[in-house]
Chain A
Amino acid sequence: KAGVTQTPRYLIKTRGQQVTLSCSPISGHRSVSWYQQTPGQGLQFLFEYFSETQRNKGNFPGRFSGRQFSNSRSEMNVSTLELGDSALYLCASSLVRGNSYEQYFGPGTRLTVT
């Protein structure tokens, strides 16, 4: 089975611009979560989508948004980019089987804001 894929892998944007990142989950996984990883704050949860609905949301400003499509692929958007948005953005897809729960991560998108 193919793993979680994220595109693009690297991105350079200018302050004030907006950006859209894409994530394709493992086939059959219906839940997609997004995380931001920075050296200072570590790994922080952004939001989670399940069956095209946002099910959980972290403590990020409204500039961060996401959506999920009917095929479970997900996108996240950041508007009005700030220097502090430079980070590795990780997408993860989840499988729930009875009491078993696993979350699998993609390789991430490295966003640099200049």
Chain B
Amino acid sequence: AQSVTQLGSHVSVSEGALVLLRCNYSSSVPPYLFWYVQYPNQGLQLLLKYTTGATLVKGINGFEAEFKKSETSFHLTKPSAHMSDAAEYFCAVTLNQGGKLIFGQGTELSVKP
């Protein structure tokens, strides 16, 4: 069965510092991987996705993630945090295009001035 683990339910960084949010997945076959962001009282916004091809994926708002099959990881990074990045971030996996995403428990990112 597929599963997703996000290490750290809360991450705090200073404005301008590197953001690193960790995601590890469990899957018997190459999955499709996604990162979503959720602001308070809103739905989920797709940040980036990995389906096939290049393992380093660039998304919106300066975020990127690297698919590492050997480590079963898909960590999200951003070189320089901005106050507006404060939100909850979810990693998700699906094995096929059948509409069922399995989500991690989420990581709340705080950005200190």
Q: Indicate if the CB atoms of B49 and A105 lie closer than 8 Å.
A: no
Q: Indicate if the CB atoms of A108 and B101 lie closer than 8 Å.
A: no
Q: Indicate if the CB atoms of A94 and B99 lie closer than 8 Å.
A: yes
Residues of B within 8 A of A44 (CB): 103
Does B80 have its Cβ within 8 Å of any Cβ on chain A? no
Chain A binding surface SS class: strand
Q: Indicate if the CB atoms of B99 and A50 lie closer than 8 Å.
A: yes
Q: Indicate if the CB atoms of A99 and B51 lie closer than 8 Å.
A: yes
Q: Indicate if the CB atoms of B32 and A101 lie closer than 8 Å.
A: yes
Give the interface residue-count category, chain A.
20 to 34
Give the interface residue-count category, chain B.
20 to 34
Given contacts A33-B99, A42-B105, A48-B100, contact A101 B94 (CB under 8 A): yes
Residues of B within 8 A of A32 (CB): 99
Q: How far is the CB of A7 from chain B (nearest CB, A)?
A: 13
B70-113 interface (Cβ within 8 A of A): 90, 92, 94, 97-106
Does B36 have its Cβ within 8 Å of any Cβ on chain A? yes
Q: Indicate if the CB atoms of A45 and B101 lie closer than 8 Å.
A: yes
Q: Indicate if the CB atoms of B94 and A105 lie closer than 8 Å.
A: no
Residues of B within 8 A of A107 (CB): 42-43
Q: Indicate if the CB atoms of B51 and A31 lie closer than 8 Å.
A: no
Q: How far is the CB of B38 from chain A (nearest CB, A)?
A: 9
Report the separation of the CA atoms of residues A22 and B90 in the bound assembly, to the nearest whole angstrom.
Answer: 24
Residues of A within 8 A of B103 (CB): 42-44
Report the separation of the CA atoms of residues A92 and B44 in the bound assembly, to the nearest whole angstrom.
Answer: 9
